[in-house]
Amino acid sequence: MSAGGFQGVRSQKSLDLSRDFARHQRSWFAQVQARAAAGEPFAVVNADAPQELFRVFDIPYVVTQWWSSVVAAKQRAGEYLGRLVQLGYPEDREPYTALGFASSLETDPSSAPWGGLPRPTILHAVASGDCMRKLFEAWARQVGADCLLLERSNSWVDDIRPDWWAQAHDNWNELIEGDRLDLMTAELEGVVRWLEQRTGRRWSEARFREVMDLVNEQEEYYLRSRDLIASARPAPVSVADTMPATMIPQWHRGSEWGRDAAKALWDAVERRAAGGVARCPDEQVRLMWLGRGMWFNMGFYEYFERSHGAVFVWSIYLALAADGYIRRFGRDEDPMRALAARFVTMGDELRSPTWASQWHLKEAQSHGVDGIVSLGPAGYFNRLAFERAGVPLLELDVSHVDASGWDDEAVRRTVATFIEDRAAPVAASRRDRERASG
């Protein structure tokens, strides 16, 4: 397949619920469009900003990164980003978020993915990185929305616990610097006050606790699913199943539907594992996909199942849901501080040196991964951790947003060679060990 003409390959999902979730998403989005069209406030919220507050207020919202994945899947990214350039904005700085901005410039809903993103009245993000503040302010200016930004603090302690996941669920008050929690808690209180005044909607503390409990319940199901997939041989499902089955309900965190969707995933994974139903019955090699999803070509994840018995068993989506989101709190504790604890560290798990490399390694080892395929460079500390642990790594130089540069034959060849030359020997040793240990 030549570059530029690649249309992507759909994955064959093992779970019916992925299709159910996709249908729900369509129906939910139609409702959001209808509510926005009826004049309700409508927010576009970045993934690293607390959507829970909007849920408490029952303000319809869409998460930027979900919408960008829709646009990318419809292969409209290049065209939309070009419209940003026409306005003088860059197309290659934070492109995944900029795609949300760019798609807001669509003037023909009939040709837009899913009928188009409604015009937001509120844009909400954490002022992370060097350009998020500027990007959201420009977006807000362009569409006439209010821009609600949260401060982003950075870890400054001399030593951080490399096993953060063991502390994050219950001991987050000790894991995270107190000043950072104070700041985010105060920021969130400000958001609540602003939304109360701006929208005239009433805050309910009881509803807030309910939403927070639903989030924790939902993520607990992911934790159980993740742990079961890690231990099951062969894997009952692959990332082609878990990525959409996790990502879609994650955008509905704090709702009963989101909690029930996570339970449905757990039920399905448990049922398959108990029945010995495998994603790839002849599983030989277990792979980790490091990075964002290849949404325009989900079929990629099953390219090597039949040819090599190689299954992608891990992606950030389910694993981050399992380790990154749960913040348990007692009845006498402030749920706002627990919510702050969820978002203060968001992103560190995937990018900060100690956090990311140690977590990725822990996950690779707990899943019995024989090789890691990384979307782009994995980074020095990841490489070092994997190398010291003897886990082979392939760094694929491809984009997950723009299909125009995808050379399918070359990618297939590169990954196949990696599996054969590097992952398969590791897999053989692992299987021997697992057989020996029963």
Partner 1 sequence: MRSFEHGTSAAVSLARERYTGELPSEGAAGPIVAIVGASVPVELVLAAGMTPVRLSGRPRPAPLADTYDLARLDGPTTAAFEQLLDPARPFEFALIGGDGEAHSVLFGALREIRRVEPHHRLPQLSFVDLLHLPNRTTTRYDRGQVERLVDTLERWSGRRITADDVREAVVRVNGIRTLLAKAMALRHRRPARLSGSDALHLVGAALVSPPERIRPWLSRLMADSPNLPELAGPRAYLTGSTHEDPAVYEVIERRGWVIVGEDHPRGQDALGPAIEQTADPLDGLVEHYQFANLPSRRSSEDRARHVAAGARAADADIVVHFAFAHDEATPWDRPAIHEAVAAAGLPDLSLPEQRFGDVDPDALGAAVESLAFAGVGARQ
> Which positions lie near partner 1, rule CB under 8 A?
87-90, 93-94, 127-131, 133-135, 137-138, 141, 149, 151-156, 158-160, 162, 179-180, 182-183, 186-187, 190, 351-354, 357, 377, 379-381, 384-385
CB of residue 415 to partner 1, shortest distance in Å = 22
Tokens of 297: 């070509």
- Please report, to the nearest 10 degrees, the dihedral formed by the alpha carbons of residues 323, 325, 329, 334 taken in order: 150
In whole angstroms, the minimum distance from the beta carbon of 343 to partner 1 comes to 14
Please state the closest distance from residue 141 (CB atom) to partner 1, in A. 8
Residues 6+ apart with CB under 8 A from 259: 214, 217, 218, 221
The full DSSP string for 306-317 is HHH-EEEEE-HH
Which residue has 């070092």 as its token pair? 384
- Reported as type and span, the H/E element at residue 103 is helix 95-103
Task: Identify which of residues 11 and 357 has a Cβ nearer to partner 1 in the complex.
Answer: 357
- Residue 152 or 272: which CB sits closer to partner 1? 152
CB closer to partner 1, 122 vs 160: 160
Long-range contacts of 129-137 (CB under 8 A, 24+ apart): 129/94, 131/93, 131/94, 132/46, 132/94, 132/97, 135/93, 135/94, 135/97, 135/98, 135/101, 136/46
Dist. CA 378–CA 382, nearest whole Å: 6
Kindly give, in sequence order, each residue whose CB lies less than 8 Å from that of residue 139, ignoring residues fewer than 6 positions away.
Answer: 100, 101, 104, 123, 145, 147
Q: Which residue, 84 or 122, is less far from partner 1 as judged by CB?
A: 84
| Residue closer to partner 1 (CB basis): 138 or 403 | 138
Pick the closest to residue 97 from 121, 132, 130, 124 (CA basis): 132
**Minimum CB distance to partner 1, residue 156 (Å):** 4
Distance CA 24, CA 72 (A): 20
CB of 357 to partner 1, least distance (A): 7
Kindly state the smallest distance separating residue 380's Cβ from partner 1, in Å: 4
Nearer to partner 1, 103 or 128 (CB): 128
Least distance from C-beta 152 to partner 1, angstroms? 8
Cβ 57 to partner 1 shortest distance, Å: 20
> In this complex, which beta carbon is closest to partner 1, that of residue 187 or of residue 219?
187
Task: State which residue, 298 or 344, has the beta carbon closest to partner 1.
Answer: 344
Q: Rank residues 183 and 192 by Cβ distance to partner 1 and give the closer one.
A: 183
Instruction: Report in angstroms how near the CB of residue 169 gets to partner 1 at its nearest.
Output: 23
- Rounded to whole angstroms, how far apart are CA atoms 405 and 419? 23
Quickly count: other Cβ atoms within 10 Å of residue 338's Cβ: 22
CB 137 within 8 A of CB 150: no
Can you tell me which residue has the tokens 């398969």?
424
| Integer angstrom CA distances of residue 362 from 343, 355, 386 | 22, 11, 10
Alpha carbon distance 377, 396 (integer Å): 7
In the complex with partner 1, which residue's Cβ is closer, 138 or 310? 138
Closest distance of CB 186 from partner 1, Å: 4
